[in-house]
Each structure stands twice: as C-alpha cells, then as structure tokens.
Amino acid sequence: METIRAVATFPYIAPENLEAFKEIAAKMLLVIKEQQSILRYDLFFSADGTQCTAVEEFTSPAGILEHVAKNRTLLDQLAALGGEVTGSVFPMSQEGEALEVIRSTWNSKMHIHFAGK
C-alpha cells in the first residue's frame, strides 16, 4: 500500500464565519466517512478558532484526488469562509500518475520520505 499523508490549512476564518465553517465541515465529514480511500481525516482548530487544519491519510495518492473531486463543492465553500488552502503532502513513494497530478497542479509543498518505522 502506497499511503499518503497530507496537512491542509484554511488560514483565516473570521469569527462571524466560524459556525458556518463548522457546519459545512461536519457535512463533509459525513461524506468522508463513506470513502474507503480515506484512512484518517482529523480537523483541528487553533485556540482562537481562526484557523482550521486537516490532518489526512489516504490509501494512495489517487485517494486524495477522489476526495477533492467528491467534495469539491464543500471544499470551495470552506475556502470561501476560511481562505485558500495551504498544505503539505507526504507520499511514501514519489511514483505514479496521481502523484504527478498533485505535484504539477496543486500549490502544496511536496515532501520526500527519508526513513521511519
């Protein structure tokens, strides 16, 4: 299995947008629970509630593309409330078509696996 992890941050949620952001995020999490390619998807808010970071793990790079395609409308709504997503991608391998799509079309930092347990 060529798992891949990602961290995506919505950089600024205005206080008046926080509840709407949480409602949309909750809707998206219901869809995410049904997606077999998503192993983990945890949302964290900053202490002041002005940022939201998603810590994600997928079965493969294609799983990230599936997630984005399936949740495009909700992700766009979240970005409208929380700002353009910034992120980092942590693939276990550097090979594959889906990873090349991510590398060439997304504004994310791509990391190269060195070692681990």
Q: pLDDT band at 103, cuts 50/70/90?
A: confident
Query: What CATH number is attached to the domain comprising 22?
Result: 3.30.70.100
Q: What is the pLDDT of residue 21?
A: 98
Asked if the model's pLDDT at residue 100 lies above 70, the reply is yes
Residue 71 lies in a domain: yes
Residue 106 lies in a domain: no
Residue 109 lies in a domain: no
Residue 117 lies in a domain: no
Q: At what angle do helices 61-70 and 72-82 cross, to 10 degrees?
A: 80
- Total number of domains constituting the chain: 1
Q: What is the pLDDT of residue 53?
A: 98
Q: Which domain holds residue 40?
A: 4-93
- The kind and range of the H/E element at 9 are strand 4-10
Q: What is the pLDDT of residue 93?
A: 87
Q: What is this structure's pTM?
A: 0.91
**From CA 29, how far away is CA 40, in angstroms rounded?**
11
Q: What is the pLDDT of residue 1?
A: 58
